[in-house]
């Protein structure tokens, strides 16, 4: 197997777990928070600034307006007119490209499909699931309060959709953006992993 | 395996061939033109009327307006106010429900996912592929003229998207409508079949 695997996923769908299982199956690196940490260290930005970036995107217009208050003068990046969040995205993108150069791996989130679109050895996945499954998982796996779980799921999905739309300029839920899309709750997470591995091959 | 499998597919993506291979794998019936024939015979409509119906949908608004010239008085259907095309859709839907009641099978096209949405034993697939692959397939497999092949692919997709949008009220390319979506050209048709069968199980 000589592929870079990117995963986009609805909140609570088990996309991260599926990514870990695929990485284990192939014995390849898995990048998620590790990626953020690495990017933060290499670029000199504080880690929490990176962690906050994805969560901050509310919608593409509001986001653009809010980000209009640009941070100028950081010549390390050479993009004087870009917002702080755009710079973080570019720094993250650099890291994604670097780890992809190192060989096969699994990268979750952060529009890695878009960042690596010039490569022809990338397999882009999307994982989704029924709302009830995701609410249940938010409570049981992430410890989200039961009363606010539905809200948390909806808000996180909206943020991810807006983040994708803002950076990629495409609809997050458009199936044409992905090579394989799997609904994790219908047949279960292990079968989702089996389907993806059958698709990718040895 | 105790599932009804429905397939929506971009024109030239190999969705029909994938459906046939899945049906062979499980030894279950495959419904496509057979379905039209059966529906036509049971309802008394001419076969060609059925074959034309899917191709006629241009876009949901124009379609609705055009279909405003209703055909009244056919009391066999008991839906006096419905257009001819809506009646055909209902007759097809009846057939889809009947074959689904008979047991596991593969049904290609005709919004079978929507028609069977009340059942919990239905697995909904979508097959797509890169434009270049589909143009090539239109020429080689369907014998479409090379010069007009790109146009044919685009027009057929538009018709299918509008047909789905009109009858289902959802975007055809919204991944949330399907349990598994596979891009057939990236890893090839046989691997697409393997992935789907791994997902569905024995």
**Backbone φ, ψ for residue A25 (5° rounding):** -55, -45
Asked if A175 lies within 8 A of B179 by C-beta distance, the reply is: no
Asked if A178 lies within 8 A of B173 by C-beta distance, the reply is: no
**Of residues B72 and A162, which shows the higher confidence score?**
A162
In this prediction the pTM is 0.82
This complex has an ipTM of 0.81
Q: How many CA atoms lie within 13 A of B157 on its CB side?
A: 24
Give the per-residue pLDDT at A39. Answer: 66
Q: In this structure, what token pair is assigned to residue A45?
A: 């930005």
pLDDT > 80? residue B66 = no
- CB-based contacts of B9: which residues, under 8 Å, 6+ apart? B15, B16, B18, B19, B108, B109, B126, B127, B128
Of B175, B186, B191, the CB nearest to A175: B175
Q: Which residues of A touch B178 (CB under 8 A)?
A: 175, 181, 183
Closest Cα to residue A1, out of A37, A25, A17?
A25
Give the per-residue pLDDT at B55. Answer: 53
- Please write the tens of the pLDDT for every residue from B81-131: 567 777 778 888 888 888 899 999 999 988 999 999 999 999 999 999 999
Give the per-residue pLDDT at B79. Answer: 43
Asked if A192 lies within 8 A of B183 by C-beta distance, the reply is: no
Asked if A182 lies within 8 A of B186 by C-beta distance, the reply is: no
pLDDT > 80? residue B61 = no
Position B39 confidence tier, pLDDT thresholds 50, 70, 90: low
Q: Which residues of A touch B176 (CB under 8 A)?
A: 128, 173
Give the per-residue pLDDT at A49. Answer: 55
Give the per-residue pLDDT at B93. Answer: 85
Q: In this structure, what token pair is assigned to residue B64?
A: 């609705």
Axis-axis angle for helices B33-43, B47-56 (nearest 10) = 120
Closest Cα to residue A109, out of A4, A5, A8, A17?
A8
Q: In what order do the strands lie in the sheet with A122-128?
A: A30-31, A105-108, A4-9, A122-128, A180-183, B180-183, B122-128, B4-9, B105-108, B30-31
Asked if A179 lies within 8 A of B183 by C-beta distance, the reply is: yes
Of A173, A174, A199, the CB nearest to B195: A199
Closest Cα to residue A35, out of A119, A121, A105?
A105
Asked if B175 lies within 8 A of A180 by C-beta distance, the reply is: no
Axis-axis angle for helices A47-56, A149-168 (nearest 10) = 100
Q: Which residues of B touch A199 (CB under 8 A)?
A: 182, 187, 191-192, 194-195
pLDDT > 80? residue B197 = yes
Minimal Cα–Cα distance from A180 to chain B, Å? 5
User: pLDDT tens, position by position, for chain A (202 residues)?
Assistant: 889 999 999 999 999 999 999 999 999 999 986 675 566 566 665 555 555 555 554 444 444 444 443 333 333 334 445 677 777 788 888 888 888 999 999 999 889 999 999 999 999 999 999 999 999 999 999 999 999 999 999 999 999 999 999 989 999 999 999 999 999 999 899 999 999 999 999 8
R_g (Cα) of chain A, nearest Å: 17
Percent of chain A scored above 70 by pLDDT?
75
Give the per-residue pLDDT at A85. Answer: 73
């Amino acid at each position: 197997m000589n592929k870079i695997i990117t995963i986009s996923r609805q909140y609570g769908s088990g996309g991260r777990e599926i990514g870990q299982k695929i990485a284990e199956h192939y014995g390849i690196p898995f990048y998620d928070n590790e990626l953020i940490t690495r990017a933060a260290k290499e670029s000199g930005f504080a880690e929490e600034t990176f962690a906050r970036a994805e969560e901050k995107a509310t919608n593409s217009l509001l986001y653009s307006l809010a980000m209009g208050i640009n941070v100028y003068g950081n010549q390390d990046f050479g993009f004087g007119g870009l917002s702080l969040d755009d710079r973080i995205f570019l720094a993250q993108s650099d890291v994604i490209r670097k780890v992809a150069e190192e060989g096969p791996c699994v990268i979750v989130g952060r529009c890695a499909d878009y960042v690596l679109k010039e490569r022809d050895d990338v397999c882009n996945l999307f994982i989704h699931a029924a709302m009830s499954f995701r609410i249940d998982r938010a409570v049981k796996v992430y410890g989200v309060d039961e009363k606010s779980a539905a809200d948390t799921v909806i808000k996180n999905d909206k943020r991810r959709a807006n983040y994708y739309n803002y950076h990629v300029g495409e609809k997050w839920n458009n199936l044409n953006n992905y090579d394989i899309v799997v609904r994790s709750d219908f047949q279960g997470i292990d079968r989702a992993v089996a389907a993806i591995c059958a698709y990718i091959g040895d």
